[in-house]
Chain A
Amino acid sequence: MIGQLIDGPLWYFSLAVFCLGVLFRFFTILRAGLKPDLAIPRAGGAAGALRNLFTRFVPRRDVATRGRLTLVAGYLFHLGLFALLFFARPHVDFYAERITGFDWPALPYWAFIISAEIAFIGLLLLWLHRLLHPVTRLLSTADDHIGTGLVFLVMLTGCLALAQSFEPLRLLHLFLAELLLIYFPFSSLMHTFTFVFSRGYTGAIMGRKGVNA
């Protein structure tokens, strides 16, 4: 009964909350409005926005040294999570069956294990840094910890479910993923999408000034 609920209605409900919530957040950003820049630009804003969207993936030299731990852990976590989310065999099958209608090559089991280890190491390092470093400790809110905790639990149950092939674990993993989907649009996890806006806005204004931001 609970399994059916998690596998069926709750999945569709959480997916709907996620999609509508994300769209609502986009709307709240755009609704705030932005006055046009009347200064005569040196170069095009669109090119600057596009450039900044990609160049920010590479850290600046000075900060790459001073903030090495955050950067390395950040890369490990995001790359590992990306691989797990889109290329773990059960996920590929799930998307094909429930959303896309087609599948794509999945990671072999050994690559899945490596991706999971990388993602876990990155996430735990980031979390520890958040808890222990004076700067991140001062900045962090309950939302930051709830988001991190939920992602951690989803990853943990996902790995256990795959390793054990145990149906209740799969259901627990799916249930936690559904909670995450519902929480996502109302949290800082939204940076997954809104970074396009923030990098774009800054890149455009700096591009107009002729600065490679």
Chain B
Amino acid sequence: MEHDFAKGVEELGRQIDSRIASYFSSCVHCGLCAEACLFYTETGDPRYTPIYKLEPMRRLWKEQHTFWGKFAVKLGLSKPLTEQDFADWEELVYDSCTMCGRCSMVCPVGNDIAYMIRKEREGFSTAGYSPVGMQEATHRALTIGSPMGVTLKTLKAALAHVEKDTGLKIPMDQQGADYMTLFSSMEIVNFPEYIESVARIFDAAGVSWTISSEAFEATNSGIQIGSHEAAGELVSRVVNAAESLGVKFVISPECGHAYSAIRWEGPNLIGRPYKFEIIHILELLDQLQKDGRLQLSGHTDTPLTFHDPCQIVRRGGVVGPPRDLLGKVASGFVEMADHGTMNWCCGGGGGVSANERAEELRLKVFDRKRKQLEELGVKTMVTACANCRIVLEEGIEDREMDVEVIGLTELVAEYLTTKSAQ
């Protein structure tokens, strides 16, 4: 990606659409968004107030879209954005925002601040003011096909283990299958048990599925760093693979922003609707279970709670399915006080976990989740996002807590009625 400050400012200006113009017009600087942001609540630093992170974009909006702003420019009284402003705000825009969108839920005038940050990052990344870790992840995604450097060989090695452990054949490049499954690099490398669970569930439910050797990666670093070009390219790869295989559905895995990217931003990034549908793995499992194709037997009595991945639940709309599934397999399921669309983020979404510079801050704001868990007193937390899971596990380790984190798909697979038992 080419980096240029002037182009960054130009890009930032291009991102100001009617939504953003209405948001800046409506903001009365009440500061309530701060109370919804874990970066403010856990540090008390007013600079982490969500709307303050938009200050460079607000100044540009004022200059270009308001009477006083234009008047000041004409008189030479306006202070244009400088590279120093970008340098000063880079940490606020990337390190202290996971684009979880909790602030967007509480703004009295209805400003979608997460959307604004997503747009502001477009200007910052074009200007070259983005974290090195995220730049490298995006580069790897574009050149290797995965932000973590996972290649097809790595996937095949992981699949070989799954095939050996399950005795199942994992379908690859199967023309005309109903479903094409995506995985995140994090699942392939850190949580291959997710792949195994998917294989076992689909086999039991008789799902016609496949993996594409051309596009198996769900993670979209372009969305995180704020590059519509990179994001569009990554979405296109999936779309091309799915359309050439002729599948009816593409399954988004247990990865939050991957779902947001492919389900909600994807068609807008490539400029057309898909010829197939996107379904999140939890939606599919819930649907299979309701259709009677996914037979479950038994349940755990262990008291446990569910950490809602922001991009799947609050920003993605998959609110009911995880709860329906948990209701079937966990009798001890209890909700945290703030849950569902008002959950608290793990602290590592939106590329923050890929940003080494942000590690100390990320671990500090994990205190919000720690308090939630201690309030509830449970020792098991289920989630449905590989990135949340690794971030939560690191936080738990850092705070020396005795809490286990498990994936929901794995939990469901654990109570699968096997064919022999049917």
What residues of chain B lie closer than 8 Å to A42, measured between beta carbons?
317
| Residues A195 and B109 in contact, CB atoms below 8 Å apart | yes
What residues of chain B lie closer than 8 Å to A199, measured between beta carbons?
109-110
The segment from A8-16, A63-71, A83-91 that touches chain B is A63-71
* Count of residues in B whose CB is under 8 Å from the partner chain: 58
* Residues of chain A from 156 to 173 with CB closer than 8 A to chain B in the complex: none
What residues of chain B lie closer than 8 Å to A185, measured between beta carbons?
67
Known: A191-B26, A191-B27. 20 other contacts (CB 8 A): A28-B21, A31-B18, A33-B17, A38-B272, A56-B107, A60-B36, A62-B106, A62-B338, A63-B106, A67-B31, A67-B35, A137-B46, A194-B22, A197-B26, A198-B110, A199-B110, A201-B23, A205-B112, A213-B104, A213-B105
Interchain residue pairs with CB less than 8 A apart (12): A28-B65, A35-B268, A39-B267, A59-B106, A70-B30, A135-B31, A136-B31, A188-B25, A195-B26, A198-B19, A203-B110, A205-B112
Which single member of A53, A66, A138, A201 contacts B112 (CB below 8 Å)?
A201
Q: Mark A17-50, 1 if CB is under 8 A from B, else 0.
A: 0000000110011111111011110100000000
| Residues B18 and A198 in contact, CB atoms below 8 Å apart | no
**Which of B20, B28, B111 has the most chain A CB atoms closer than 10 A to its own CB?**
B28
| Residues A56 and B31 in contact, CB atoms below 8 Å apart | no
Q: Is the interface of B mostly helix, strand, loop or mixed?
A: helix
* Residues of chain A from 94 to 139 with CB closer than 8 A to chain B in the complex: 130, 133-139
What residues of chain A lie closer than 8 Å to B265, measured between beta carbons?
39
Which chain B residue has the least Cβ–Cβ distance from A24?
Answer: B67
Q: Mark A180-209, 1 if CB is under 8 A from B, else 0.
A: 000001101011001101111111011001
Which chain B residue has the least Cβ–Cβ distance from A189?
Answer: B28
**Known A-B contacts A191-B28, A197-B25; A209 and B271 likewise in contact (beta carbons under 8 Å):** no
* Interface status of A5 (Cβ within 8 A of chain B): no
Which chain B residue has the least Cβ–Cβ distance from A137?
Answer: B46
| Residues A39 and B268 in contact, CB atoms below 8 Å apart | yes
**Known A-B contacts A56-B108, A60-B342; A70 and B66 likewise in contact (beta carbons under 8 Å):** no
| Residues A135 and B40 in contact, CB atoms below 8 Å apart | yes
* Interface status of B315 (Cβ within 8 A of chain A): yes
Interface residues of A (CB under 8 A from B): 24-25, 28-35, 37-40, 42, 52-53, 56, 59-63, 66-67, 70-71, 74, 130, 133-141, 143-144, 185-186, 188, 190-191, 194-195, 197-203, 205-206, 209-213
| Residues A211 and B108 in contact, CB atoms below 8 Å apart | no
* Interface status of B133 (Cβ within 8 A of chain A): no
**Known A-B contacts A62-B338, A134-B46, A135-B46; A201 and B27 likewise in contact (beta carbons under 8 Å):** no
* Interface status of B41 (Cβ within 8 A of chain A): yes
A87 to B16, CA, bound (A): 39
Which single member of A32, A136, A144 contacts B21 (CB below 8 Å)?
A32
**Known A-B contacts A39-B263, A39-B266, A74-B30; A138 and B338 likewise in contact (beta carbons under 8 Å):** no
Which chain B residue has the least Cβ–Cβ distance from A188?
Answer: B28
